[in-house]
Structure 1
Amino acid sequence: MGMAPRVILRGEWGARHDNGGGSAPLPASEMWLHHSVTIAPDVLPPFDDDYAAIRTLEAIGEQRFGRGISYTWPITPAGLIFEGHSANRLGSHTGGRNSKARAICFVGNYDVQRPTNAQIQAAAWLLQEGQRRGWIRQARLNGGHRDVKATGCPGNHAYAAIGLINSLAAGPPITEISEEDDLSWTENLTFTAPDGTVTTVQARDWLMWTNHAAWQAANNTAVANAKLDSIAGSLSTDQATLLAAIGDNPTQVDLTEDQTKMLLNGLSEDTARRLHATLEGRFGKQ
């Protein structure tokens, strides 16, 4: 059974320091995903450790920047959403962009752990709610912290979830946050590409489709009728071997994260577009 999403206010979690470093205009034009690299609380009630984790983030932000908690909305693995600094206050999360940007922060280290289903749904709900309440201009993440700074933040696993979060935020209103930790491998996920193409894949293929950088590059000008033999010369031997292993029925192949990176990384933008179009044909549109 799920829970109704809401934002836990500063007074509820026990904020002790300044509410940001000054005023910031609304609606924000950008939203970036971060991770805290602190110890993640568990997903079980009564959630005392979630509240304590947010106070720890506040103490770290105060020590580093003297402005209290750095992030606008931290989200714990249980799917609890906390008000960090208020939406109309200046945070210390995305250097050079703090006046026009706001930040979601997944509490934990997402190079090591994967975001829970509850976190992903909570982030998508927050994007919908933020747009509805005039906090942000669009109900979408612009990307991860690494897109605007030389950093690993928000961690590889959280970064890979950006496409799914944006897809959910663009869908029907979210009214409940699931307490289940993981998506079913057989659950169908729908993604909308920048060119408007809607593609449905199984969750087991999610990792390939939500490699965010490759997804953006591949979908800008996807060519529907591209053929694998036209890009064979652009693939390394390892990439060609992996691609051949997918065969005509990719849902029967489980790719590890390293294999997925090997397949997608290092391709030119043109090759990535044509590779995406070919895989799109093999997955099929629904």
Structure 2
Amino acid sequence: MGMTARLLPLVLTATALVPQQPSNDPSYQEIPLDGVSVRSLTEPYGMVGITWPEGVRNVTAKVRVQQNGKWTDWQSLPVEDDHGPDVSDTEGIQRAGTEPLWVGNATGVQASAISDSGTPVSGAKVVLIQPGVLSSDADEPDDVGVTSTASPYPMPLMVSRRRWGADERLRTYNGASCARPKYTTTVLGAFVHHTADRNDYTRTQVAAMVRAMYAYHVKSRGWCDLGYNFLVDRFGRIFEGRAGGAQLPVLGAHTASYNANSFGVAVIGNFDKTTPPAAMLESTARVLAWKLDANYRSPSATIRLDGKSLHTVSGHRDTKATDCPGAQLYDKLGWLRQRVNALMGGSFATPIYRYARKLGFRNIGQPFWGEHPTRTGRATYFATRDVFYSVATGPHSTAGAFRTRYRRLGAGSARLGLPTTEAYQVHGGVRQKFQRGWLVWDRRVRQVQVVYGRAL
């Protein structure tokens, strides 16, 4: 009674009873929290959050929801003002806000957002998202990888964006420029987060939770896409997050000024007081091992990002004062580093890595597309060279105009096959031999030509 009376001038109330039936159709509602009691008809929804204009700090946000005709207790929503893109990398019209809360299926909401002075936050909104139900919500991860102890550690099974139902049209919501993914230079390290959500969700709810989070990040917070690069549920399933290619160094919106040259893995749930399940920790280790091993990064090393020295595998709270990723998960980071190191075999030993060291990383730059299988072998794309390997050819690289031409042919699976030499000078030009032909640069025509056949 005291809580309700004290918050009444600041509360939005949506108490109209609506038949509580799960909806197959997605919906999105933003209702102003304007400091007076408001009554609004509320369709069934699955996720709730509160937002306000960027720049307002020290906000206390609370909600309670109506489920099955009864009101839950008031619950504080975590406010994470350091999630999201760097301020220098604006994605749409950004708004500050809480972490979204999954409520499953609710028909009413009461919410408040007050400043540290006890006054209503001007321009605050409560966001209600119904992600709908898809026939694919019960599907398991796509067969895009395998789990083993091979070197480098392979891509684990993953629920793709297509499989969890990402509406790719949503990426133009904050402008056409958002439709094109942005990439950073390389992968140096990873940040572990928790979504600060509930821990009692079911297997079939997770895809809907990810869709709702995607809508919240884009429509409510003003970002270009889902903020995290990867998500892991309590059952150990890995979900592809931000678009742009899971294998590539996609610039995420997870740790503000530390997004460049890192990737964010969010475990779905709240781990302030709850220990993350073993399956969740193991899958988190697997996605970390895959990305770090492909880019030749040791989980036991330290790196430097935005002028700060950090572990290769860090928690969000290592960058600022925040509860994320929760005390119980943060305490597991040491175990995660050890487990990742074990999965990676403790060292880098691939022929491509050894060849890259021979060429010199100062000469070829850092990995952009980490080591990955091609149709006929393996490849790593560095800043200035692409290095290929197969048992039949050994390691060789392409560079400059030859790299550009070979990529256009379908590098790694072209009719030419893999390179069997480096490019070398001959009278009148430069040539490079491949398994089933040559690339030739002739000074007279000043372009790279493709010649098929073994003799030249």
Structure 1 residues 37 and 173, CA gap change in structure 2 (3 angstroms): same
Structure 1 residues 41 and 20, CA gap change in structure 2 (3 angstroms): farther
- Contact 1:20 / 1:85 at 8 angstroms: preserved in 2? no
1:151-190 equivalence runs, <5 A: 151-172=322-343
- Contact 2:194 / 2:271 at 8 angstroms: preserved in 1? yes
Deviation at 1:128, TM superposition (A): 1.6
Question: Which one has the largest radius of gyration?
Answer: 2
Find the aligned partners of 2:285 and 2:257 in 1 and give their Cα distance: 25
Find the aligned partners of 1:103 and 1:80 in 2 and give their Cα distance: 16
Which one of the candidate residues 241, 244, 248 is aligned to 1:84? 241
1:39-83 C-alpha deviation (Å, 9 max, x unpaired): 3354x6xx2212112112212211213222110111110011011
Find the aligned partners of 2:222 and 2:193 in 1 and give their Cα distance: 17
Do structure 1's residue 55 and structure 2's residue 216 form an aligned pair? no
Local SS of the residue matching 1:8: coil
Counterpart position of 1:114: 275
Structure 1 residues 172 and 35, CA gap change in structure 2 (3 angstroms): closer
Which one of the candidate residues 157, 168, 172 is aligned to 1:6? 157
Do structure 1's residue 75 and structure 2's residue 232 form an aligned pair? yes
Do structure 1's residue 31 and structure 2's residue 190 form an aligned pair? yes
AA of the residue aligned to 2:213: L
Going by fraction, where is helix more abundant, 1 or 2?
Answer: 1
- Contact 1:41 / 1:76 at 8 angstroms: preserved in 2? no
State the number of aligned residues.
168
- Contact 1:70 / 1:84 at 8 angstroms: preserved in 2? yes
1:108-159 C-alpha deviation (Å, 9 max, x unpaired): 111132111001100111112113444x734465311111022111010110
Q: What TM-score, normalized to structure 1?
A: 0.53
Structure 1 residues 99 and 173, CA gap change in structure 2 (3 angstroms): closer
Find the aligned partners of 2:343 and 2:189 in 1 and give their Cα distance: 22
Going by fraction, where is strand more abundant, 1 or 2?
Answer: 2
Local SS of the residue matching 1:150: coil
Local SS of the residue matching 1:70: coil
Find the aligned partners of 1:36 and 1:92 in 2 and give their Cα distance: 13
Q: List alignment gaps of at least 5 residues for structure 1.
A: 175-286
1:245-260 equivalence runs, <5 A: none
Q: List alignment gaps of at least 5 residues for structure 2.
A: 1-145, 148-155, 172-177, 301-311, 346-456
Superposed CA RMSD: 2.5
Do structure 1's residue 137 and structure 2's residue 308 form an aligned pair? no
Local SS of the residue matching 1:7: coil
AA of the residue aligned to 2:328: H
Find the aligned partners of 1:90 and 1:41 in 2 and give their Cα distance: 31
- Contact 1:33 / 1:143 at 8 angstroms: preserved in 2? yes
Find the aligned partners of 2:269 and 2:179 in 1 and give their Cα distance: 22
Local SS of the residue matching 2:264: strand
Counterpart position of 1:270: none
Find the aligned partners of 1:157 and 1:32 in 2 and give their Cα distance: 16
Structure 1 residues 40 and 26, CA gap change in structure 2 (3 angstroms): farther
Structure 1 residues 111 and 170, CA gap change in structure 2 (3 angstroms): same
Find the aligned partners of 2:236 and 2:328 in 1 and give their Cα distance: 16
Q: What TM-score, normalized to structure 2?
A: 0.34
Instruction: Decide which moves more: 58-67 or 118-127.
Output: 58-67
Find the aligned partners of 2:242 and 2:269 in 1 and give their Cα distance: 19
Counterpart position of 2:45: none
AA of the residue aligned to 1:159: Y
Structure 1 residues 172 and 70, CA gap change in structure 2 (3 angstroms): closer
Local SS of the residue matching 1:143: strand
Structure 1 residues 157 and 12, CA gap change in structure 2 (3 angstroms): same
Counterpart position of 2:69: none
- Contact 1:27 / 1:137 at 8 angstroms: preserved in 2? no
- Contact 1:120 / 1:165 at 8 angstroms: preserved in 2? yes
- Contact 1:21 / 1:67 at 8 angstroms: preserved in 2? no
Counterpart position of 1:98: 259
